Structure 1
């Protein structure tokens, strides 16, 4: 449900941001549909134009014809109003796990944003019904599997179309219930979809775009947390602060890379003399961290632009130009930009996981960590012989990293020919977005291990008198305190699963305040 002190996201055809969609999906924003007469009239003009064409016996794809390869099949006038129900019914073949509640909200928001552009030939009443679902948090249960990303997300979005008419199942107050019983409890009347309306809902990129909105906002935090982990690891292993000197990075002017170096420099800077000048060059996982994380930082603006343009587009077919009275047949349902954005993003994310995994391995290994105990065990005396600290966490982080790297194979290269070769070149955008989400989950697990291990390493330096808390910049002091709220100092071996799960959840909730 929507949290207190939330923002309001207005759906009126003006551009939305990925941040707004993510806030709405997380229940941190309210939905408001524009109720002005001007907006209502602009939306309804498309539906009225289609009604006019119907009265004049015009041929309209998906209204008086079948769908896709069946476009040559004429639909008798008396069956035109039954056609939308058949479209969402035969597409009700989704499989796999359902999208999460948060993901499903984002999908609905993306579809509503597109329909609000006013080029889909739907009624304002349809937009009201979708906004009601979001406002009351009655969210269709949408299986993840079954879309090739053209003609749009047909099968996933069929679950939204069906729910609008009162069918299938929804998330409601933490339960999965039939739409009919929830509508009855809430006093909601199901709507009857008009000609073109089921097609307008389904024949678009909302599933992949909604998931992509969430992916890029999570990736923005990954950048910042990986940067802070690098700073903490550098302190833990007594790294060379001057690897991040502004002069050094002024000669290679990738702005994202420069930003990462500047953040780390600010975290570590203690004066004009480096803290650890006895070692000229650290291993690449520290020295080249701005170069690795910087790739992700530099590509994010382009990725966000791809996603936001798709979010704020009319992306179904045909496009209805009510002002000029044109029905324009094209392929705006094709999710190529989302596919390539997600394929590129997951590769950059997995590379960051690989970087942090190498930092973890260096920090726990007494051959490379410059005096820290093996596996960062806090045990002392005779107990040190039987305690193994973060040994297994390092192994697990390596496994998560390997799986993330394995998941970077581009989905967009696996185009299939489907639907009697009508859809003979498809985007695979929804699979790319789902893959990116899985890679993100694994990356966040690696980062959870990274924050735990880097903070333990710094805490050991402080405990053993090699460093004082006051030697650290305030931001690093705050990170140690925030991490300690979730993970107590590891002295005696204990199962760390629940600690790691808390850390992962904290990452998703942006527990650490990282850089302005």
Structure 2
């Protein structure tokens, strides 16, 4: 994204002490919104008060963890006064040991915005200048190159956030217009003066849950969309398989009052002719991947409200250590850097999302098997005539779906139970929240791949159902979806390579191209 695009973005997200939503972070990450720092005098006075309180404590020889002492297990080490100013530089320097793939541009913007949100609560003892520096980087789209691996989720996301701290000071590398450049050069070109961190500012930037929280914000939006998309796919699968729409009857679902499950059933009723008389020869009860779809998708639908609460509460928290109460003039030592709520949310979300992949995998198995698809061609091949003998339809696609599903299911082992004692047993119980969030994003990626394949299958199956049973017509919402998919993916008759079609549909999924159940 070019910086000019950010300046022309219509929506501004104001950072102060007011509550932010997941959508604020996601919109900044995607370039749909820009970050602005509140100009309100009372907000800026609150931020300044905390920084000035710390300055006064230093002048009075106060003992402040991470300011006049070493970090973690080294908190018993007293820092000589003439070295206090160098301590923040050492903190981000020795934490520059991340590995693995770098976070992409969208994820990096989200991380920067999430850290800014926490520091703006006014309990971190940082200066207004530090907050403005983060906004400058976002405004110019100068994105720290942050390795994704190396955080145990307490004391916060120390190693990945060290890369943000370093870039604020003109060190390490940034991504600018998709190209990696030295941070010092990028800041100079943008007219930005590197920071010299104040005594607690290195700790304030790094000792928090911004990385896992940012990833959780992005994961939430993808999971929310998948609940709707998987429901639409189920409706199309039911139509293609000549399923029994009475399984989604309103009275039936009124007796099991999970609101998310009821909502999924209601969406299915809008897509299917639930009131129609059952045709002779139709199965009385469909297999579970159709009949129980609201019960599977509904678990995620019912989890979304509390997942939002967990994520947004963490987003709107001051989560470093120590907490600086400038108003009450106290330094409060605690453990708000611990990412347990995000860890549990992400472990839970990836479980529910992987179940969607498994549901769609089972629907795919029914669709391609002529023993179970109620009269459709084997492997949903659309070829007719002599060349039908050499046409294999979606045979290989079903194999790929099984592979992606298996990998998604394998990722559901909860990361939060794998705490490791680290840092001389000071960090002896840690959250693993960032690993959980990364796992969740991988499960979402794989499930979206499954969904892209199922979109091809249910479109193909729906078209073939109308060929086999011309008297059967889909509801308007399903017909509109079939038409939209057909614009991207022509009906498969002669065998062809499907990877380009899958990638087109993946892009549609990840941009939420289809408005589902408005």
> Shorter-chain TM-score: what band?
over 0.9
Q: Of 176, 179, 182, which aligns to 1:178?
A: 182
Q: Which runs of 5+ in 1 are unaligned?
A: none
Distance 1:448 1:479 in 2: 13
- Higher deviation after alignment, 310-319 or 503-512: 503-512
d(CA) in 2 for partners of 1:156, 1:274 = 58
CA separation of 1:477/1:73 partners in 2, compared to 1, >3 Å: closer, same or farther? same
Note closer, same or farther for the CA distance 1:305–1:400 as it changes in structure 2 (3 Å cut).
Answer: same
1:107-150 Cα distance to aligned partner (Å, 9 max, x none): 11110000010000000110000011111111111000000000
**Whole-Å separation in 1 of the counterparts to 2:353 and 2:186:** 40
Contact 1:241-1:275 at 8 Å conserved across structures: no
**Deviation of residue 168 (structure 1)?**
0.6
Equivalences for 1:397-408 in 2 at 5 Å? Answer: 397-408=401-412
SS in 2 for 1:327: strand
* Alpha-carbon distance between aligned partners in 2 of 1:215 and 1:201, rounded to the nearest angstrom: 23
1:217 counterpart residue number:
221
Match of 2:19 in 1: 15
Q: Which residue of structure 1 lines up, in the alignment, with residue 474 of structure 2? A: 472
**1:279 and 2:283 are equivalent in the alignment:** yes
2:324 is aligned with 1:296: no
Residue 37 of structure 2 is aligned to residue 49 of structure 1:
no
* Secondary structure in 1 matching 2:488: coil
**Matching residue of 1:100:** 104
Provide the rounded CA distance (Å) in 1 between the counterparts of 2:26 and 2:280.
Answer: 42
Tell me, yes or no, if the aligned pair for 1:375 and 1:390 is still in contact at 8 Å. Answer: yes
Pick the aligned partner of 1:490 from 489, 492, 516: 492
CA 1:188–1:195 in structure 2 vs 1: closer, same or farther (change >3 Å)? same
Take 1:491 and 1:446, find their aligned partners in 2: how far apart are those partners? 21
Aligned-residue Cα RMSD (Å) equals: 1.2
| 1:104-503 matched pairs, under 5 angstroms | 104-269=108-273, 271-274=275-278, 278-464=282-468, 466-467=470-471, 471-503=473-505
In 1: Cα distance, 2:420 partner to 2:111 partner: 24
**What does the per-residue CA deviation read over 1:265-298, in whole Å, with 9 as the maximum and x for residues that have no partner?**
1100264524677321000000000000000100
Does the CA-based 8 Å contact 1:215-1:437 persist in structure 2? yes
Give the Å deviation of 1:89. 0.1
Which one of 38, 42, 47 corresponds to residue 38 of structure 1? 42
Q: How many residues align?
A: 514
Contact 1:116/1:127, CA 8 A, preserved across alignment: yes
**What per-residue deviation string (whole Å, max 9, x for no partner) do you get for residues 180-213 of structure 1?**
1111211111111000000000000000000000
Instruction: Give unmatched runs, 5+ long, in structure 2.
Output: none
Please, what TM-score do these two structures have when normalized by structure 1?
0.98
Contact in 1 for aligned 2:157/2:208 (Cα 8 Å): yes
Match of 1:62 among 66, 71, 95: 66
What CA deviation, in whole Å up to 9, does each residue of 1:225-254 have, x standing for no partner?
Answer: 000000000000000010000000000010
**SS of corresponding position for 1:485:** helix
Provide the C-alpha distance between the structure 1 equivalents of 2:439 and 2:258, rounded to a whole number of angstroms.
28
| CA distance 1:388–1:467, shift in 2 (3 Å) | farther
Contact 2:46/2:122 (<8 A) preserved: yes
The change in CA–CA distance for 1:277 and 1:18 in structure 2 (over 3 A counts) is farther
The CA distance in 1 between the partners of 2:280 and 2:187, in whole Å, is 66
The separation in 1 between residues aligned to 2:500 and 2:308, in whole angstroms, is 33
What is the CA deviation profile of residues 379-404 of structure 1, one whole-angstrom value per residue up to 9, with x for unaligned ones?
11011100101100101001100000
Task: Indicate conservation of the 8 Å contact 2:124/2:204, yes or no.
Answer: yes
